[in-house]
Amino acid sequence: MRTLLLIAATLAAQTPNLNPITWALSTQPGKLVLHAKIAEHYKLFSPTKSTPGPIPLRVKVLESRWLRAAKPLASTDSHTLTGETDITIPYTLRRKLPNDGLTVHVEVEYQSCSDQICLPITRRTLEAKLLPANPVL
Amino acid sequence: MKFLLLLCLAANLAAQLKKPILLELFTAEGCASCPPADELISAVDRLQPIPNADLIVLSEHVTYWDHSSKDRFASTTLNNRQLGYSQLLKLEGVYTPQLIIDGKYECVGGNGPEAKRLILEALKQDKPLLELNANRVNGKLLTNVSFFGLSGATILVAIAEDNAETKITKGENSGKTLKHTAVVRALHTIGTAEGLRTDRTVELPLPPIASSFRIVAFIQDSKTGHILAAAQVKL
């Protein structure tokens, strides 16, 4: 049994992680917060620094009819992001939210590399509920 | 003279006794992690470090790093080939550099020890002899492949450029001069194996190649993706 576990662990170590970033979207008054959990040894290319190479993180708020989103801000001033990090998207409302709130969709497009491999452009769409009490008018 | 002839015969026989293993490196000039894998595949081709193995290498450049640095060797055909392997090997996606060994195993392209382990694994598989002849005729490539068995499998021929070199001016590899071995410039499916013996001659267009090149023929199981036989000639 121990040998089997050891073999399984070895095999797992040899398979590269092809989905190294876990995303979550939350809302705060006047801002959307993207939370990225980046796997160990991997890096994400920052949205605020242009790098001569892989695309930087691109963020798009799909409900542009409702929100005017500003440029995203990373929590650290670096070309690459590692570990757990927040990316903030400040916004202002273009119109009053519906009484039952608004589901906001944020599309992220990014590339990531480890010290051994690089992954092609990945796109994810995240959603969060914006309630009328939250927004700043 | 007689001794030389015997030596040539012995070398030819030894080459035939070695089992061919096809190593496909999916790589890109715009990928920062790829140059060490390119160097590794080049060394493997040159040094042939595994006894009893005839390691046949192909560098297959993919386009998904082209936004950072346009790779003149990349093609969507090769993207699709990598994607096909990803599905057959039940991976979550694609990445570079990725090494596919005999269509059956995969590992990170720069991981030499793991590649060696998988090559030794691939060597356990028996393979029929694939005879390959190729000649330039009037600017085209006259290629003949013949082998026994393997009915239903797909016959592919790659034309690969050797000693290709690119000075990178953009992207994370900017400032580096990348050297490539056996860069696939064209990949042709020339039919399927039929009956007891297949003997196929085709005339292939020759892509514009600046330096020397090689022809790699291989027989691939279309369902599993496994490489069943392979051979190469350098021109």
Answer yes or no: pTM beyond 0.90: no
CA distances from A136 to A28, A93, A97, B207 (A): 10, 7, 11, 61
Alpha carbon of A133 to those of A24, A93, B162: distances in Å? 21, 12, 65
Q: What is the pLDDT of residues A17-62, one digit of tens each?
A: 999 999 999 999 899 999 999 999 999 987 766 656 677 889 999 9
Cβ separation B94–A120 shorter than 8 A: yes
Question: What average pLDDT does this structure show over B29-44?
Answer: 94
For B200-209, what is the mean pLDDT?
Answer: 88
**Interface contact A117-B96, CB threshold 8 A:** yes
Contact A52 B170 (CB under 8 A): yes
**Choosing among B95, B117, B169, which should be mutated to test the A contact, i.e. which has the most A CBs within 10 A?**
B95
Predicted confidence at residue A12, as pLDDT, reads: 44
Q: Read off the DSSP letter of residue A55.
A: P
Question: How many other CB atoms sit within 10 Å of the CB of residue B178?
Answer: 18
Q: And the tokens for B132? A: 């390959």
Q: Comparing A101-110, B182-191, B204-213, which segment has the lowest mean pLDDT?
A: B204-213
User: Nearest C-alpha of chain A: how many angstroms from B23?
Assistant: 18
B89: nearest CA in chain A?
A15
**Structure confidence at residue A13 (pLDDT):** 46
With left for phi above 0 and alpha for psi between -120 and 50, is residue A66 left, alpha or beta? alpha
> What is the pLDDT confidence band of residue B39, given thresholds at 50, 70 and 90?
very high
Contact residues, chain B to chain A, C-beta under 8 Å = 30-34, 64-65, 67-69, 91-98, 107-111, 114, 170-174
Does residue B81 carry a pLDDT above 50? Answer: yes
**Probe site for chain B from A41, A111, A116 (most B CB atoms < 10 A):** A116
Q: B29 has which bridge partners?
A: none
In this complex, do B68 and A53 lie within 8 Å of one another by their Cβ atoms?
Answer: yes
Do the chains contact at B34 and A118, CB–CB below 8 Å? yes
pLDDT band at B82 (very low <50, low <70, confident <90, very high): very high
- Whether domain A18-126 has CATH 2.60.40.1250: yes
- Provide the pLDDT for residue B51: 93
Give yes or no for residue A86 having a pLDDT over 90.
Answer: yes
Contact assignment for A117 to B108 by CB distance below 8 Å: yes
Decide: A59 and A106 in contact? Cβ < 8 Å.
Answer: yes
| List of chain B residues whose C-beta atoms are within 8 Å of the C-beta of residue A52 | 68, 170-172, 174
Host H or E run for residue B37: helix B34-47
B127-164 pLDDT, tens digit each: 999 999 999 888 899 999 999 999 999 999 999 999 88
Residue with tokens 């026994």: B148
B68 pLDDT above the threshold of 90: no
Amino acid making up residue B232? Q
What are the residue boundaries of the structural domains of chain A, listed by start? 18-126
Instruction: Give first-to-last CA distance, chain A, whole Å.
Output: 61
Asked if this assembly's ipTM is beyond 0.90, the reply is no
> Is the pLDDT reported for residue B204 higher than 90?
yes
In which band, very low, low, confident or very high, does the pLDDT at A124 lie, cut at 50, 70 and 90? very high
CA distances in angstroms from B201 to B7, B94, B125, B134, B191, listed in the order given:
30, 34, 27, 9, 10
Surface of A (21-80) touching B: CB under 8 A: 51-55
- Whether the pLDDT of residue B7 is over 60: the answer is no
Backbone angles phi, psi at B162, to 5 degrees: -105, 160
B108 contacts A16? CB cut-off 8 A: yes
B216 near B232, Cβ under 8 Å? yes
One-letter amino acid of B172: E
CA–CA distances in Å: residue B191 to residues A57, B16, B152, B202, B219: 44, 24, 9, 10, 10
User: Does the beta-carbon distance from A14 to B114 stay under 8 Å?
Assistant: yes
To the nearest whole number, what is the mean pLDDT of chain A? 84
What average pLDDT does range B226-234 have in this prediction? 96
* Beta-strand relationship, A102-110 and B140-148: unpaired
Query: Contact B162/B212 with Cβ under 8 angstroms?
Result: yes
The Cα–Cα gap between B158 and A31 comes to 53
What is the rounded CA–CA span in Å between residue A54 and residue A51?
A: 7
Which residues, other chains included, contact B113 with Cβ-Cβ below 8 Å and sequence gap of 6+? Answer: none
What pLDDT score does B12 carry?
Answer: 47
Report chain A residues whose CB lies below 8 A from the CB of B107.
14
State the Cα–Cα distance between residues A113 and B80, nearest whole angstrom: 21
